[in-house]
Amino acid sequence: MEMKAVVSSTGLMLLFAWLSPSQALYFHIGETEKKCFIEEIPDETMVIGRYRTQLWDKQAGSFLPSTPGLGMHVEIKDPDAKIILSRQYGSDGRFTFTSHTPGEHQICLHSNSTKMALFAGGKLRVHLDIQVGEHTNNYPEIAAKDKLTELQLRVRQLLDQVEQIQKEQNYQRYREERFRMTSESTNQRVLWWSIAQTFILIITGIWQMRHLKSFFEAKKLV
C-alpha cells in the first residue's frame, strides 16, 4: 500500500499510510528535531515498532552504529490525542502498543541529544520498521511453543488474517459512517445558509421598497 510523507518547515514529518504487513524506512533527525508518523489503525490491533540508530561520523564520512548512551524517546497518541505510550529507549529498541480506538495514531520519536555531547550539532539516522496486526506474530516461535504441525500453523495464520481483515472492514465502515455524517452536516449547513441568504435578500428588498416609497412620497412624486 502507498505511503506518503510530508515535511513541514519546522522539521515535523507526517507519514500517512494505509495498513501494510511491514513498513520499513529510515530518516534523519538533528539535535532538537522531532519526527512524527501517523498510522491509520483499526481498534484492538497490536502494533510493533523496531528501530536502530546510526550516528554521523565526520572522520569516517558515514553513519556508524550509535553509542549505548544515545537513546530515543517514543511517544504515541491515539486519535483522541491521549498519550498511550511515552517511554525512553536505548539506541536500538522495540516498542509495542494495542489500539483501543480506531483512527489515526501518532508515533513521535526524538533523541536524548541534550545528554550527549557527542551528538551535539550532529545528525542521526533512524531505521524504523512498523508491523501491524497479524504481522506482529512470530509464527515459528508460536509453532515451537504450542507444538503445532505445519498444517495447524497455516490454519492459525489464516484465522489471524481473517480476523485482521474483519477489523479493517469494520474500520472502513467506521470511516464511511464518519464521512457520511460530515457530508450530511455540511449539506445541512449549506441549506440553512442558503435559506438565511434568501431571507436576508427578501428583507433587504422590502426595506429598499419602503425606503424608495418614502423617498418618492417626500418628493411628492407619488
Which of 7-16, 29-38, 46-55 is modeled with the greatest confidence?
46-55
Q: pLDDT value at position 157?
A: 80
Q: Does 58 have pLDDT greater than 90?
A: no
Q: pLDDT value at position 76?
A: 93
Please say whether the beta carbons of 79 and 108 come within 8 A.
Answer: no
Instruction: State pLDDT tens for residues 61-117.
Output: 788 887 777 778 899 999 999 999 999 888 888 999 998 888 899 999 988 765 554
Q: pLDDT value at position 214?
A: 81
Instruction: State pLDDT tens for residues 146-199.
Output: 787 888 878 888 888 888 888 888 888 888 888 899 899 999 999 999 999 999
What is d(CA 190, CA 184) in angstroms, rounded to the nearest whole number?
Answer: 10
What is d(CA 129, CA 20) in angstroms, rounded to the nearest whole number?
Answer: 11
More confident position, 220 or 73: 73
- Residue 222: pLDDT band with limits 50, 70, 90: low
Give the range among 1-5, 70-74, 99-103, 136-140 with minimum mean pLDDT: 1-5
Cell (9 digits) for 138: 512470530
Dihedral sign from CA coordinates of 98, 37, 30, 125: positive
Q: What is this structure's pTM?
A: 0.63
Q: pLDDT value at position 168?
A: 83
Cell (9 digits) for 137: 506474530
- Residue 134: pLDDT band with limits 50, 70, 90: confident
More confident position, 124 or 108: 108
More confident position, 87 or 142: 87
What is d(CA 164, CA 4) in angstroms, rounded to the nearest whole number?
Answer: 23
Q: pLDDT value at position 12?
A: 37
Q: pLDDT value at position 190?
A: 92
Query: Which phi and psi (to 5°) does residue 217 adopt?
Result: -65, -40
